[in-house]
Amino acid sequence: MNDTFDLLIRRASIIDGTGATRRPGDIGIRGDRIAAIGDLSHARGVQEIDLGGRVAAPGFIDAHTHDDRALLSSPDMTPKVSQGITTVITGNCGISLAPTPRAVPRPVTPPLNLLDDEGGWFRFERFGDYVQALREQPAATNCALLVGHTTLRVGTMDALDRVATDDEQAQMRALVDDALSSGAIGVSTGLFYETAVAATTEEVIEVCRPLGEHGGIYCTHMRDEADRIVDSLEETFRIGRETHAPVVISHHKLVGQGNYGRSSETLALIEKRMGEQRVCLDCYPYTAGSTILSADRAATSSRVLVTWSKALPQHAGRDLVDIARDMGVDEAEAIKRLDPAGAIYFRMDEGDVQRILRFGPTMIGSDGLPHDTAPHPRLWGAFPRVLGHYGRVLGLFPMETAVHKMTGLTAQNFGLRDRGVLREGAYADLTLFDPDTVGEAATYEHPMAPAHGIDTVIVNGVVVWRNGQGTGARPGRVLTHEAA
Ligand code: ZN
Ligand code: CU
């Protein structure tokens, strides 16, 4: 027996991603795979790491990101690898960087400007061109890609305030088919946004038809996360049934004071439908959301923080009330002067956030916005906050459950074969951390800070983060799904 490994992790507390109780052991890695797990005290490693009882877990999978452009423009992916993330699901909320068969208008139509407000990165006519660029210049993390319905609308329609014609729907359907054939794992929608709100349920179904045949997944930022959330859930389930696709309810939450507490009702409905069709959901561990700045969203929030402004960049990181006061104008006028801009909105209930996080099938997704000047702290802090604040401190769940929600469960839902679990033969994506200190450092005041307690992060057998620093290695791959 050959007992030399490329990388040998000694004396680990192994949390394997399945939800099983941790067990002591060593992990031997050869090439990009886990070659052995168990008592390897007599083996040697070209490189060795002694964990002294700290945790080895599968690398975290960020179920909900907007990292489409960051993978290319900031390939070290520091906000992600520093918190233990080894795979990101991109293209959420209806916005993906590709394909854009027709030039994206300038200024870039919001919310597409969350990916690139200048527009120069919208340069991939076909989805396959984007996949090829990612393969030619890999990032530090793996990625799995969704194609966005809003991007398709911008790329095929001359006006977005109406339903797509049959011909436009056929064009979008062909683009979806092409994207799924070129490496996309599914389609996302952002029916909540001005750019897609005019799309009917039938439009979405017609555009998403190829999902069934390709085994793709449907992810949605639903039309309404406030008073009409139940209608939106039912719309989502119907789209899943008619396209024969699993659905993912993105960043499940209840917005607005009148809806506080209603997660008992929505989770009961989700659980019921889970018995009838494939339903998944993700959540970020905060009571504030973040997206583009708008007057209606500000009106329903108890506090608004500006995350970026193209017109007045100096106000990023400040409270909207303070900005308006300094300008000597009301908030509506301040919003006009800041536009285009982004914001953090406080408008959720802590009780709902905890109930949704605790719900067994809930996956963790950051929804981080990587290009904001003063981003929501979820970009750097979501995963360690679940492990530390919600797991260890508040005791919402054992650490094994928290890890499962960010690894094994997510890999299974998105069909990422041999990822998200620690076992012989699986890919060597690992996060090594200290269970006593793991936690987020990012706050609303200081949102850009590497997490506490993350020792080492390994992607495809290669160390990308060690002792508080990136190594510069970029072993990330484009992951395609296994047809269910
Ligand atoms: Zn969203
Ligand atoms: Cu999102």
For residue 73, with 0-12 CB atoms within 10 Å meaning exposed, 13-18 middle and 19 or more buried, which class applies? middle
β-sheet bridge partners, residue 454? 433
Phi/psi of residue 322, each to 5°?
Answer: -70, -40
For residue 4, with 0-12 CB atoms within 10 Å meaning exposed, 13-18 middle and 19 or more buried, which class applies? exposed
- Whether 144 and 480 have beta carbons less than 8 Å apart is answered as yes
Q: Give dist(CA 287, CA 263) in Å, integer.
A: 13
What is the 31 CA–ligand 1 centroid distance (Å)?
37
Give kind and range of the element (H or E) at residue 410.
helix 408-414
What is the rounded average pLDDT of the residues 152-176? Answer: 97
Please report the pLDDT score of residue 484 as a whole number: 39
Neighbours of 50 (CB within 10 A): 12
What is the 134 CA–ligand 1 centroid distance (Å)?
23
What is the 110 CA–ligand 2 centroid distance (Å)?
13
Q: Which ligand is nearest to the CA of 64?
A: 2
- Across all residues in the chain, what is the average pLDDT? 97
pLDDT, tens only, 377-434: 999 999 999 999 999 999 999 999 999 999 999 999 999 999 999 999 999 999 999 9
Q: Give dist(CA 132, CA 120) in Å, integer.
A: 17
Q: How confident is the model at residue 482 (pLDDT cuts 50, 70, 90)?
A: low
State yes or no: pLDDT of 483 exceeds 60: no
What is the 81 CA–ligand 1 centroid distance (Å)?
22
For residue 449, with 0-12 CB atoms within 10 Å meaning exposed, 13-18 middle and 19 or more buried, which class applies? middle
Give which of 443, 440, 441, 474 is closest to 457, Cα–Cα.
Answer: 474
Q: Give dist(CA 179, CA 163) in Å, integer.
A: 22
- Whether 28 and 8 have beta carbons less than 8 Å apart is answered as yes
What is the four-CA torsion angle of 330, 332, 336, 341, rounded to 10 degrees? 110
Could you tell me how far CA 63 lies from the centroid of its own chain?
Answer: 4
Q: Which ligand is nearest to the CA of 68?
A: 2
Please report the pLDDT score of residue 194 as a whole number: 96
What is the 41 CA–ligand 2 centroid distance (Å)?
45
What is the 197 CA–ligand 1 centroid distance (Å)?
13
What is the 370 CA–ligand 1 centroid distance (Å)?
14
What is the 20 CA–ligand 2 centroid distance (Å)?
30
Residue length, the chain?
A: 484
- Whether 146 and 480 have beta carbons less than 8 Å apart is answered as no
**R_g over Cα of the chain:** 22
pLDDT, tens only, 352-377: 999 999 999 999 999 999 999 999 99
State yes or no: pLDDT of 108 exceeds 80: yes
Type of residue at 312: L
Q: Which ligand is nearest to the CA of 252?
A: 1
Give which of 321, 277, 278 is closest to 298, Cα–Cα.
Answer: 321
State yes or no: pLDDT of 335 exceeds 60: yes
What is the 173 CA–ligand 2 centroid distance (Å)?
22
Please report the pLDDT score of residue 481 as a whole number: 80
DSSP-based three-state secondary structure for 470 = strand
Write out the residues surrounding ion ligand 2, Cβ under 5 A: 92-93, 367
Structure tokens at 39: 């008592």
DSSP-based three-state secondary structure for 452 = strand
- Whether 56 and 13 have beta carbons less than 8 Å apart is answered as yes
Q: How confident is the model at residue 2 (pLDDT cuts 50, 70, 90)?
A: low
Region class of 258: left (phi > 0), else alpha (psi between -120 and 50), else beta: alpha
Q: Which ligand is nearest to the CA of 222?
A: 1
What is the 250 CA–ligand 1 centroid distance (Å)?
7
What is the 180 CA–ligand 1 centroid distance (Å)?
21
State yes or no: pLDDT of 1 exceeds 80: no
What is the 369 CA–ligand 2 centroid distance (Å)?
8
What is the 241 CA–ligand 1 centroid distance (Å)?
22
What is the 366 CA–ligand 2 centroid distance (Å)?
8
Q: Which ligand is nearest to the CA of 378?
A: 2
What is the 62 CA–ligand 2 centroid distance (Å)?
12
What is the 190 CA–ligand 1 centroid distance (Å)?
7
Phi/psi of residue 163, each to 5°?
Answer: -75, 150
What is the rounded average pLDDT of the residues 267-275? Answer: 98
What is the 110 CA–ligand 1 centroid distance (Å)?
13
What is the rounded average pLDDT of the residues 155-170? Answer: 97
Neighbours of 373 (CB within 10 A): 17
What is the 309 CA–ligand 2 centroid distance (Å)?
19
Q: Which ligand is nearest to the CA of 376?
A: 2
Q: Which ligand is nearest to the CA of 114?
A: 2
Q: Higher model confidence: residue 2 or residue 318?
A: 318
What is the rounded average pLDDT of the residues 107-125? Answer: 95
Q: Which ligand is nearest to the CA of 189?
A: 1
What is the 451 CA–ligand 2 centroid distance (Å)?
21
Q: How confident is the model at residue 3 (pLDDT cuts 50, 70, 90)?
A: confident
DSSP-based three-state secondary structure for 408 = helix
The dihedral built from the CA positions of residue 478, 479, 481 and 482, taken in this order, carries a sign that is: positive
Q: Which ligand is nearest to the CA of 220?
A: 1
What is the 93 CA–ligand 2 centroid distance (Å)?
5
What is the 251 CA–ligand 1 centroid distance (Å)?
7
What is the 38 CA–ligand 2 centroid distance (Å)?
39
What is the rounded average pLDDT of the residues 54-65? Answer: 99
Q: Give dist(CA 210, CA 245) in Å, integer.
A: 9
The dihedral built from the CA positions of residue 412, 417, 419 and 421, taken in this order, carries a sign that is: positive
- Whether 182 and 127 have beta carbons less than 8 Å apart is answered as yes
Q: Which ligand is nearest to the CA of 379?
A: 2
What is the 365 CA–ligand 1 centroid distance (Å)?
11
Angle in degrees, CA 256, 261, 267, rounded to 5: 110
pLDDT, tens only, 278-316: 999 999 999 999 999 999 999 999 999 999 999 999 999
Type of residue at 265: E
Domains observed in the chain: 4-57+422-470 (2.30.40.10), 60-413 (3.20.20.140)
State yes or no: pLDDT of 345 exceeds 50: yes
For residue 83, with 0-12 CB atoms within 10 Å meaning exposed, 13-18 middle and 19 or more buried, which class applies? buried
Q: What is the DSSP letter of 76?
A: T
